[in-house]
Structure 1
Amino acid sequence: MQVIITDAWMAKSRAFHLSGAKLILSLLGLSFVLMLVSAGLYHWVFLKGAREGWPIVGSLVRLVVKDEFAQRDRYMRENIEVLAKKLGEMQAKMLQLESLGERVSGLAGVNPADIKIKPGQGGALVNGRDLTLQELDATLADLDLLANQRTDVMTVIESRLFEQKIKKMMVPTQAPVHDANLGSTFGWRIDPITGRSALHTGLDFPSEPGTPIYSAAGGVVVTQEFHSQYGNMVEIDHGNDLITRYAHASKVFVKKGDLIKRGQKIAEVGTTGRSTGPHLHFEVLVQGVPQDPQKFLNAGRHLPATQVAQAKAPAAQR
């Protein structure tokens, strides 16, 4: 394509040669320029009309703004309704958690009345009208406070349950010898050596030499020595002035000061000291006074009652 441009007197002329590609690029450039000019004029007219209050332009601007605000309001209302629904579900779960906390606190021995908590609230979500952002924010604040209070309650309950578990682990309720019959029981009996009546201060468990001896509860070894009466002896302190004694062992695997776990192997059955045969002599002392170990073992239900009743080995062991 050839374009010729001349002046008014036809004295000068200039020719331009446009190929197909150049023509298309020229048209695209011209269209882009026209679009920019149109957009600038449109923007300038609307701004000037809105600022100066032109009748037609001002009405159009107000209509556009009104529609935009209506869409925003509808969007906000829909989102508030969704949040309110989820907030209601959270309140229901908090009430369930409160009920569960009361039941668990009873098991832990914690009186909920002793813990100051704010009663559950949330009437704003069930009043049958649309919520405002202020009401939504206030309800969220109440839920946050309630959640913190429930956390405090659960922390106290967890602490109490842990304390009870520790105390239980420190009470000698586990049998010191597994699958062993019970020989001499606690109380008065005829001494197998002197033949006279004497107080037997523990329980005897006749077993084969080398049978493992286990700690009846967790604690700290306070004595590990050879005693003229008890032979190889171990004493474990469980706190609260409660001590267990394991006597006549052939081998001992712990020493004074060791921290012992419940059910840990501490020695093996033997016949050292004042003994007439291989067995474990097991004692429980509270404030230094011998107690009947069978009461503790029965509390742990580790020795069936039928086994205890039928187990009557010769009273020739201590």
Structure 2
Amino acid sequence: MKTEDGMNIIFVGKRHGKSRVVAVNAPVAAALVVVLLVLLAVASWSGYRVAVSQADAAEPTPSELVIEWKAKLNTQKSELAEIELNVQQQIDALTLRLGEMQGRLLRLDALGQRFVESGLVASDEFDFDQPAAVGGPEDAGLSGDSFTAPELTSMIDQLARRIEDREQQLRLLDQLASRMKLEDELFVAGRPITWGWLSSRYGYRSDPFTGKRTWHAGVDLAGKEGSDIIAVAGGVVTYADERYGYGNLVEVDHGDGLVTRYAHAKSVAVNVGDLVQKGQVVALMGSTGRSTGPHVHFEVIRNGRSENPETYIQRASR
């Protein structure tokens, strides 16, 4: 309650509802108001500080956030590095597979080239030095998606299986061709000269020096001195030197008990142990030994017994 000279303060008791009036003059009242305002301000500031402290305690500090973000970033970097390592390992594995396939394709090309050189396939039909020709119109409606790693791996596996099948087939063909070539190489046939004529047959004849009936174990093929004497089949040279009666002699073993002899040569072009091919020059025609003129005395011996060379010469014309 306010009066003209000051202010009355009424205190009301808790018991019996009795009240008490205290008169306060104006200066004292003003001081009390100031004190109350100060108390209210202090209380408000204290409450604000308590609220700020609680908020600071509930939220992380900037340094804690930075540490947390750095930890997450390091974790992501580790995961990314692991993914990159896995991808690189997959790429290395695919690269290794491709390298193996390239090596196998090179072997296939080599086999194919051998077939071309052997005449089994036409050279103008298969060119193993060039990639296979392919093509086709582009579908404008399809954008074309890249293959995924599993799809690419599956395609490589399928291609590897196809290459393996082709390798087996070509190896069998190569073995067959090699066997055929070897059989043809070892097949005794043809004449041991490139030019000349038959001057004496196989069997009994009149000896050119004595005139008596004697056995002739081969055939004589006359020609020009110094002309080529060639092997009628592939084999190994077992004799390449002078022998009594034969003059300069070359003997070739063709295997399976079959041997051929080339005698009276002017000179010998091979050595013992040499591998000779069919048609290879083994000597030059001459008249050494027991001979009346330039010719080659040609013998065919099977299992130690002579056979008629004309039978083998005539094989070439069949």
Provide the TM-score with structure 2 as the length reference: 0.47
More RCO (CA 8 Å, sep 6+): 1
TM-score (norm 1): 0.47
Q: Which has the larger radius of gyration?
A: 2
